[in-house]
Amino acid sequence: MADTMELRDIEVWDGNMAAAQALRQAQVDVVAAYPITPSTPIVEGYATFKANGYVDGEFVMVESEHAAMSGCIGAAAAGGRVATATSSQGFALMVETLYSASGMRLPIILNVVNRAIGAPLNVNGDHSDMYMGRDSGWIQLDAYNPQHAYDLNFIAFKVAEDHDVRLPAMVHQDGFMTSHTAQGVCTLSDEVAYNFVGEFQPMNDMLDLDHPVTHGVQTEEDWHFEHKARQQHALMTAVMPKIEAAFAEFEALTGRKYNVVETYQMDDAQTAVICMGTSVETAMEVVDELRAQGIKAGVVGIRVFRPWPLEQLAEILKNVKAIGTLDRSSPHGTVGTLYNEIAGSLFNTGVKAVLNNYIYGLGGRDLTKAHLVGIYQDLQANAESGTLTTPLQQYIGLRGPKLSFF
């Protein structure tokens, strides 16, 4: 039996420690992991808990991220609670097995501390790895600060392990800006946290020796499509209600309210910035200043990136006149991901908001309040003229000549 850790009501934790503590409190059965900056302190923290008797599950330090997820898949199929953490290049190495995990319907929790992907090599935070996970069949939740990184882990376990869902889930946080920035984090006691997540309920577990199961079969044109369609159907229909129910239950327990789409000053907003991660809170500060000047600006933060909250966004954005989508990743050959997703959300709704796209913060470059003020000025001009007054895609905080597109 693992020892209980006494926590203060508010601990000063960075995002990595918050995630490590959540994994400890969820009493994960197997963590198979490989260290990579900036997620390394999650597994270091977990290893330290194990070394001091606070974890009685297995901690398997493997030889690569691909092996980490492979071990997680084997452990999850065997029948128990499984989690790990990674970033960037390691995430990229894992990608093959991410598809295996979701296709095999195994509820693994992956903490992704977002970081740029080389070349050029870069250890700092952007959303390239998060976006790479878009099509992998995982649930993707996004934390904006260490508190979220802590709370969303519990919610991720609860949703992913639900027998109507049985899909793996990622909890994202921004590399360094969240992962290495200590803030006050409201804690749950070990008992309350574990009771919220609940006891793991195995299904098709290999270790039920009286009921052998075959995992990871071959299907060709005769059955492959049905398997993928069922997985997509579960992701599109079962997951969002379970997330909303988990958010509601978590709010009742803690008073902390999460939403599928987070909004700030959106009730009467004429212009809105849509972004993810730490940028959401920066934009909220800017909106406070703009509102003081009488400008009706708002912020939309994506909390659930997969499954994509298509209908919720259409509702939230129905009266907005100009929308700026902020992507912290190079789209490499098209418009940014959030631009595409928001355009898709609005296309059949009759909303005629002017939509443009900003690429910012690659490789950990700061997004300042001054940058956001400039963006809102663009949006205001778009709202007033009812048409694009800027290039469709612009770079924010880039030195040298303007490299805008379209």
| Rounded least distance, CB 173 to other proteins, Å | 25
Q: Which of 319, 318, 317, 328 is nearest to 371 (CA)?
A: 328
The alpha-carbon radius of gyration of the chain (Å, integer) is 21
Interface residue with other proteins among 25, 37, 40, 70 (CB under 8 A) is: 70
Q: Which amino acid does the sequence have at 230?
A: R
- Residue 255 burial class via C-beta count within 10 angstroms: exposed 0-12, middle 13-18, buried 19 and up: exposed
Residue 379 touching other proteins (CB under 8 A): no
| Rounded least distance, CB 53 to other proteins, Å | 12
List residues bridging with 263 in a β-sheet.
Answer: 300
Q: Which residues contact 120 (CB under 8 A, 6 or more apart)?
A: 363
Q: What is the dihedral of CA 267, 270, 276, 278, to 10 degrees?
A: -80
Interface residue with other proteins among 217, 267, 293, 387 (CB under 8 A) is: 217
- Kindly indicate which of the ranges 63-71, 150-158, 279-287, 325-333 contains the residues binding other proteins, using the contact rule CB under 8 A: 63-71
- Kindly indicate which of the ranges 44-52, 199-207, 281-289, 314-322 contains the residues binding other proteins, using the contact rule CB under 8 A: 199-207
Residue 221 touching other proteins (CB under 8 A): no
Residue 54 and residue 24 in contact, taking contact as beta carbons nearer than 8 Å: yes
Residue 3: left if φ>0, alpha if ψ -120 to 50, beta else—which one?
A: beta
Residue 191 touching other proteins (CB under 8 A): no
Which CB sits closer to other proteins, 79 or 175?
79
Interface residue with other proteins among 20, 23, 32, 359 (CB under 8 A) is: 32
Element (H, E) at 300: strand 297-302
Residue 231 touching other proteins (CB under 8 A): no
Which CB sits closer to other proteins, 119 or 217?
217
Q: How far apart are CA 354 and CA 364, in angstroms?
A: 28
Residue 58 touching other proteins (CB under 8 A): yes
| Rounded least distance, CB 333 to other proteins, Å | 28
Residue 3 touching other proteins (CB under 8 A): no
| Rounded least distance, CB 337 to other proteins, Å | 27
Residue 206 touching other proteins (CB under 8 A): yes
Read off the tokens for 206.
Answer: 């290999």
Q: Give me the residues that bind other proteins (CB under 8 A), please.
A: 29-30, 32, 56-58, 60-64, 66-67, 70-80, 82, 96-97, 100, 104, 205-210, 212-219, 223, 227
